[in-house]
Structure 1
């Protein structure tokens, strides 16, 4: 049980505790309410549709649904909004050592990065659905998890390298 007293053990417990708190808040309050997920998803769909329109695609977007031409389109559900990914990032950054001002700034930067990556992801989903159904089938199945965890991993590595106040 010495592991719990080590720096790594304390860090792991902090990350787990912060993420558990975030998960409970999200699962018991934010997700059932739906307004935050709805707002984020609608915003991401709107921006992605605007980018496709700038490329002269015939886009339709209504709420969380977006598509090109006569295709059925994509629906950005709660899991695709990126909100749970934000919880992972915040948990890591809050648990890892660093000064508070840079930590808060990095959290906001990280939220912005996750938001922008999600816009690009939805843009690519919609575009691949219109241009290549085989590619769309593959991207739709695996990319959400890979994209969000990949981005979060990179952001955490960046925070470890720039946020550590012992350097």
Structure 2
């Protein structure tokens, strides 16, 4: 029995999507192993990102003329209780997902690194 040429062309249109999906799943798998199984339990990267985010936030708000106090991961405005940036809310997991989508997108590596379509 021979294969129907129409059925082959019907599935070939899904090729780019399936390649994107395969890359996205592979990158997610690598991110899971790297982040959830190694970096997250250790905690050093999350602590650094959280403290850096608090520091940048404090500097930005001070530059806008607000009375800001930064202590570790906590940002306080005018003697309020403040906001503490915890590991789950520092954006590191979102950054990993964003990088995964950029890696999975088709195109030349140079264009993906510069986030351009030109």
The TM-score bracket by the shorter chain reads 0.7 to 0.9
- Alignment correspondent of 1:104: 113
Distance in 2, Cα, partners of 1:96 & 1:53: 39
Q: Secondary structure at the match of 1:92?
A: helix
What's the TM-score, normalizing by structure 2?
Answer: 0.77
Q: Deviations over 1:11-64 (max 9, x none)?
A: 112102211210221111111111111111111111111122223322111111
* Residue 95 in structure 1 maps to residue 97 in structure 2: no
Question: Cα distance, 1:97 vs. partner?
Answer: 1.3
Distance in 2, Cα, partners of 1:56 & 1:7: 50
What's the TM-score, normalizing by structure 1?
Answer: 0.57
- Structure 2 unmatched ranges of 5 or more: 1-10
Q: Secondary structure at the match of 1:72?
A: coil
- Alignment correspondent of 1:85: 94
Runs of at least 4 residues off by over 4 Å: none
For this pair of structures, how many residues does the alignment match?
107
Larger radius of gyration: 2
Distance in 2, Cα, partners of 1:81 & 1:91: 18
- The answer on whether the counterparts of 1:23 and 1:87 sit within 8 Å (CA) in structure 2 is no
- Alignment correspondent of 1:49: 58
Question: Cα distance, 1:74 vs. partner?
Answer: 0.6
Q: Deviations over 1:101-140 (max 9, x none)?
A: 232344xxxxxxxxxxxxxxxxxxxxxxxxxxxxxxxxxx
- Alignment correspondent of 1:20: 29
